[in-house]
Amino acid sequence: MISFGFLMLALILLIHGIYRISLVFRLFLGSNGEKKKQENILFTDSCPEVTIQLPIYNEKSVVERLLYAVCAIDYPKEKMEIQIIDDSTDETTAIVSGLIADFKKRGFDIQHLQRGTRAGYKAGGLQYGLEKAKGEFIAIFDADFIPPPSFLKNTLPYFSSPKIGMVQARWGYLNRNSNLLTRCQALFLDGHFLLEQPVRYKQNLFFNFNGTAGVWRKQCIIDAGGWEGDTLTEDLDLSYRAQFKGWKFVYTQKMVVPSELPSPIVAFRTQQHRWAKGAIQTAKKHLLSLLRGSFPTTSKIEGLFHLLAHSIHPIVALLVILNAVTFFSAPQEKSSVQVFAGILFSVISLFYISYLSVILILSKKFELSTLFILPFSMAMALGMTFANTKSVIDGLFGKNNIFVRTPKNGSFNPQKPIYKVEHSLTLPLLETLAATVFSIALYQAFQKHLWVSVPTLFLHTMGFGYVGIATLYSIIKMKKIPSNH
């Protein structure tokens, strides 16, 4: 029975691995003929009016950098409205007020919007600003992003077609090389921005606004029903509602907007929880509409893989548990099942190593000195399995929709976090226990010459050990930071 369950779960994981590899091949296939090149039409006579929305909440470390970058955008001041949608409860508000006074003297149209509530969280703030926005187009930047001066002039021309509702730029990373954690994050995100988004855009499939570093046509947002706060991924939710309405999206890989990756692992875990839980909530909300809609079969299949991407975590978690059970099971079961498990995990690992290697090449970061990041990234993804599984379960059955924002450091120093992040000890203790179990299994594998099991057990030990111990260490350090709102 255990062997059958193991086989079924492993086959699902294998299908997911094949899908990832298929992205690589599909990246180099031709588009379906839809015109993709940029047309510089909007700037021949006049520039359209643009509202730039900056949703912030307790961002004292980065808000000044953000405002200076936005006000340095090369665009006529009389055509650019800036909305600072400020839900802060700390000194961020005072910093913003001081900066706004100076920028207004310099001729910028800046509005400091304070709702007095966090109802709807980011979605609520964006909708509040939308109802007051003067612009025909809405550009959105999170607090940790630094838009280049050319951002608007390189994105707005894509709206030359009235069918285009949103243009998404690629993310860059200011602190990619800060530590192992940020290197892994950059690699994972490059997979999204260098493979997934280009393939989906190129083949006219469903893809999403990433919450920041993008521009919307205001009418598109209104037509899709506006921002809604019933999921933790309001960007993914609105993206599907807009595309269901027939709006087309553009992804531009050439326009790169630098951002700050979360350095403390507890901040990273907070972000991953929100993304995983919100994606499952959005899947619950839209899967039936996707399947019942009159969309091409390829769009439906890609939409399923897209919306259900995080459902892979519970499958991996079950495989992790079964892997431990089969290893420590009765001797008569050990030889066949464990050898099979080792071979199967090796094949799946080869798929993912190949996938990650292609991402390194596409990001132009492929060097001999960077190869170590491949097995470590796989190990870290394994180590996050239990945490992500909890997020998926919360998305399926949980009702508590608190939006916990990812704190930003500004200084890029992970050793000196500015904002405190609350985190339970339960999961990191469980992860550390899993690392202990797999380290014992690894020791026994060496002793009993079960060489086929060694790579898999090593990845499990390293992944759960790093995630669990690093989180416990980070929680201890966070206790030294004064409590913030």
Catalytic residue numbers, as ranges: 87, 235
Task: Burial-class residue 27 by CB neighbours within 10 Å (0-12, 13-18, 19+).
Answer: middle
Q: Which residues contact 327 (CB under 8 A, 6 or more apart)?
A: 334, 338, 341, 441, 444, 445, 453, 457
Residue owning tokens 């079924």: 8
- The token pair that represents 152 in the structure block: 């608007």
Calculate the CA 63 to chain-centre distance. 21
- Angle at CA 61, nearest 5°, toward 60 and 62? 95
Residue 21 · residue 106 · CB < 8 Å: no
What's the distance, CA 78 to chain centroid?
A: 34
Using DSSP's 3-state secondary structure scheme, residue 164 falls into strand
Give dist(CA 181, CA 170) in Å, integer. Answer: 20
Burial of 142 (0-12, 13-18, 19+ CB in 10 A): buried
- Which residue type is seen at 59? E
- Which SS3 state, helix, strand or coil, does residue 308 take? coil
Q: Are 87 and 125 in contact (CB under 8 A)?
A: yes
